[in-house]
Amino acid sequence: MKDKLIVALDVETPGKALELAKQLHDIAGMFKVGSQLFTSAGPQIVKDIIALNSKVFLDLKFHDIPHQVAGAARAAAELGVSLFTVHASGGAEMMQRAVDAVSQKGETKVLAITVLTSIDATILSEIGVTSSPDDSVLRLAKLAEAAGVDGVVASPQEIESIRRTAPNLLIVTPGIRPSTSRSEDQKRIATPAAAIAAGASYLVVGRPITGAANPLEAAREIVAEMASNMNRSEERN
């Protein structure tokens, strides 16, 4: 079950990131390197985490002309990351070029960002999108599947509808908050148990672990909740 947990290393320094990666290596299946950490530490932080025999999810949300995204995708694969993200809103050609760029680069998988978990219907309307978050996610997930990506990033609220619409896609789910945590800037959230029950492939958890007084214990509690839910599901079946 620990393989389903991705710990988001959204911290200020590479030293702190590596400290957490070493501490959580045995309980986390992967570590997310996002824009804050990558901007401050560069590709070396990815190499350092992989050198710990850990996997990396590079979450830079590439969104550019297809040629630029293809080049970035190739570079990500050459770094040895297991997953990386592009924005589905960049269109089918952009996503296809990213997929093509990594097709000969081992096990690196491409994920398409649908609608960020910090975005709700009000924010969508501000940028001229009239459909609901759920409808927007499903439209982008279908486009991503047609473009050949391996999976999507979507909030817990859309997991079940994506599973029905595109059952073969990986679903990576941020916005995971244990019942004792604050939602902070996330708007479309769920508990670890609810997200696993809905069909998430991976859960991305950041501040509830990295901001805890004891990050290792916090991570263990989340994995235990995920495992408990899986056991109940198996008993019902």
The structure's pTM equals: 0.90
Closest CA to 57 of 76, 72, 41, 36: 76
Beta partners for residue 110, in sequence order: 84
Mean pLDDT of the chain: 90
* DSSP assignment letter at 190: B
Location of structure tokens 């501000």: 126
* pLDDT confidence of residue 211: 94
Our answer to whether residue 187 is catalytic in this structure is no
pLDDT digits (tens, 9 = 90+) for 199-234: 999 999 999 999 999 999 999 999 998 887 655 444
Cα–Cα distances (Å) from 124 to 88, 117, 136, 157, 162, in that order, read 15, 12, 9, 16, 19
Evaluate whether 178 touches 208 at the Cβ level (below 8 Å): yes
Evaluate whether 115 touches 137 at the Cβ level (below 8 Å): yes
Question: Quick one: angle between helices 66-79 and 43-51, nearest 10?
Answer: 30
Q: Which domain holds residue 88?
A: 2-236
Location of structure tokens 């949300």: 61
Location of structure tokens 């309980």: 27
* pLDDT confidence of residue 83: 98
* pLDDT confidence of residue 136: 93
pLDDT digits (tens, 9 = 90+) for 116-136: 888 889 999 999 998 998 999
The distance in angstroms from the start CA to the end CA of the chain is: 18
* pLDDT confidence of residue 229: 60
**Quick one: average pLDDT of 100-106?**
88
pLDDT digits (tens, 9 = 90+) for 11-34: 999 999 999 999 999 999 999 999
Domain count across the chain: 1
CATH code, domain carrying 118: 3.20.20.70
* pLDDT confidence of residue 188: 54
Which two tokens mark 181? Answer: 């945590």
Cα–Cα distances (Å) from 181 to 109, 119, 191, 211, 218, in that order, read 31, 19, 9, 11, 11
* pLDDT confidence of residue 183: 47
pLDDT at 237 over 60: no
pLDDT digits (tens, 9 = 90+) for 131-187: 998 999 999 999 999 999 999 999 888 999 999 989 999 999 998 887 655 545 445
* pLDDT confidence of residue 233: 44
Which two tokens mark 83? Answer: 């997953």
2, 61, 105, 109: which is the annotated catalytic residue?
A: 61
Q: Mapping DSSP to helix (H, G, I), strand (E, B) and coil, where does residue 4 land?
A: helix
* pLDDT confidence of residue 206: 93
Length of the chain: 237
